[in-house]
Structure 1
């Protein structure tokens, strides 16, 4: 579900926020400290915590975004709806909502985790490395929600049937970000079913702990 965009969206590039530290992790995925995001992403990027979000509408379409040409790594490639990094002490679900509001001008009211243990390492053509523990989320949205993409993050966007995305990452992987390619393969051709299963499992776990 979605709600109207909130007025506290950052006016400048959200990636330049001085509070934008990332959480560093050891090889077991345990927090070891923090560091400024812009200083972390180098040719020897340490393992750190991130997240990915796939927006999913009632017709089974997901929002693909094309990364702005000014991005440090993988500029101009198509990727999932939104990505980001939780700040130290910030719950991942809160970070998902914050970043989606900053990048897309969209306020989410609920998200489900579909790949809680997703992890990858990839090297951009420039040599910049991404090295992340990156739980993957799905957020259900209404059909054709009003978006206000941040130009420093998003060059273009398109609503595409998930099954088409799943097929395209196999045929032309170079067009997409490496994390989207890996996530789509792991999620399979039916994202709606995968998200429904994740929500049912989460609700069952919540009741069992009550």
Structure 2
């Protein structure tokens, strides 16, 4: 993995420095992240299955895409960049909410992130980058809720943490768009 730097932040998302991405995850330090949810016109969520050789959570289902802003990059630009890089989609994303979490991963890494969550609605089909994702599907919120109850181990920890907030924010998002 190349030496990509991420933005370290405090609990109010104020930058405190920068550090290499893998080191941040090894040390469990709080850093800025982005999470993207794309919905189709039926309000089904575009899920991706992370490529099996990713350095963590490979083969697990997750939100449309996620990642980290580079130092000096806005969260908006980072979210739109990651959507292009992972799913081959160029969409105007809207910031919807922020949250913080500290989640252990199975390989000794930690996702300690201050996350900025973005939404978009589009019927465009993804053109996945095979280094990032190896499958996708559109799925209703209700079907995802059932699948999580039956097999939560099929999903990334951050998806399990953010997904319960999605229905309420989706209702507000669609009402305002």
* TM-score for both structures, normalised by structure 1: 0.77
- The structure that is strand-richer by fraction is 2
Q: Secondary structure at the match of 2:162?
A: helix
Structure with the greater alpha carbon radius of gyration: 1
Partner of 2:130: 151
Output the CA distance in 2 between the equivalents of 1:93 and 1:82.
Answer: 13
Matches within 5 A, 1:173-184: 173-184=152-163
Distance 1:191 1:157, change over 3 A: farther
User: Do the aligned partners of 1:66 and 1:157 also contact (CA within 8 Å) in 2?
Assistant: yes
Q: Tell me whether 1:122 sits opposite 2:97 in the alignment.
A: no
Partner of 2:20: 36
* TM-score for both structures, normalised by structure 2: 0.90
User: Do the aligned partners of 1:112 and 1:138 also contact (CA within 8 Å) in 2?
Assistant: yes
Q: Offset at 1:55?
A: 0.6
Partner of 1:112: 94
CA RMSD in angstroms, aligned pairs only: 1.9
Q: Secondary structure at the match of 2:8?
A: strand
Q: Tell me whether 1:92 sits opposite 2:70 in the alignment.
A: no
Q: Tell me whether 1:194 sits opposite 2:175 in the alignment.
A: no
Q: Offset at 1:137?
A: 1.2
User: Do the aligned partners of 2:39 and 2:119 also contact (CA within 8 Å) in 1?
Assistant: yes
Number of residues of Structure 1 aligned to a counterpart in Structure 2: 177
User: Do the aligned partners of 2:96 and 2:169 also contact (CA within 8 Å) in 1?
Assistant: no
Partner of 1:141: 122
Q: Offset at 1:60?
A: 1.2
Q: Offset at 1:138?
A: 0.8
After the TM superposition, list the runs of 4 or more consecutive aligned residues in structure 1 that deviate by more than 4 angstroms.
none
- Can you list the C-alpha shifts for 1:159-207, whole angstroms capped at 9, x where unaligned? 111222233223422211111112111223x66423225x46xxxxxxx
Output the CA distance in 1 between the equivalents of 2:60 and 2:66.
Answer: 14
Partner of 2:29: 46
Structure 1 runs not aligned, ≥5 long: 1-14, 201-210
Q: Secondary structure at the match of 2:102?
A: strand
Structure 2 runs not aligned, ≥5 long: none
Q: Secondary structure at the match of 2:84?
A: helix
